[in-house]
Amino acid sequence: MCDLIVKENGEMTLLTEQFSIRGISRTSQDAQGVWRTVMDYHYFHDDIIAVNHNNSGEVTWKLKIDKKQYSLNHDEQYASFFSTTDGKNIFLIYNDTGPNVEERDIRPLFSGRDKKKKYTVAALICITDGGISKKISFSILKEKRENL
């Protein structure tokens, strides 16, 4: 994802994210002796980089916003980030997991808390002149699904 935000004062902020794909193949032989190869693709949408330029094209500030997203085989319905502006401030929303989510940010929709389980949160970010504020709007407990 990449976005260019133009502000009322003529400044521009480039928003982009660190992105990588890793392919892993698995080959196996079935009961009839036929070999099959399956390819799994792992998608990583990580930190957001924001770079602001003034009217002269000079860089006035840079930010790295911690974000960690992972999906398997392009199940990326809610990957990356969404951005908008009110002309002065830039607003981002994205799903986040892992070390970027502090225990104090988690408000599970379920009762009880098990620290071994993973949480996904919706993060709201406001960027104002090179500073950021982060708010967690809600969180969802991701439970491990077992094969039946």
Strands of 90-96's sheet in order across: 82-85, 90-96, 118-128, 131-142
What's the whole-number mean pLDDT along residues 80-109?
A: 70
Asked if 34 and 52 count as a contact pair (C-beta separation under 8 A), the reply is no
- Report for 59-63, 91-95, 103-107, 134-138: range of highest mean pLDDT: 59-63
Confidence of residue 113 (pLDDT cuts 50, 70, 90): very low
- Choice between 108 and 117, residue whose per-residue pLDDT is larger: 117
Amino acid at 74: H
Asked if 17 and 80 count as a contact pair (C-beta separation under 8 A), the reply is yes
Task: Say if residue 76's pLDDT is above 70.
Answer: no
> Residue 119's pLDDT is what?
53
Instruction: Please give the full DSSP string across 39-101, using - where no structure is assigned.
Output: EEEEEEEEEEEEEEE-TTS-EEEEEEE---EEEETT--TT-S-EEEE-SS-EEEEEEE-GGGS
Asked if 17 and 1 count as a contact pair (C-beta separation under 8 A), the reply is yes
Confidence of residue 139 (pLDDT cuts 50, 70, 90): low
What's the whole-number mean pLDDT along residues 86-110?
A: 65
What's the whole-number mean pLDDT along residues 36-55?
A: 90
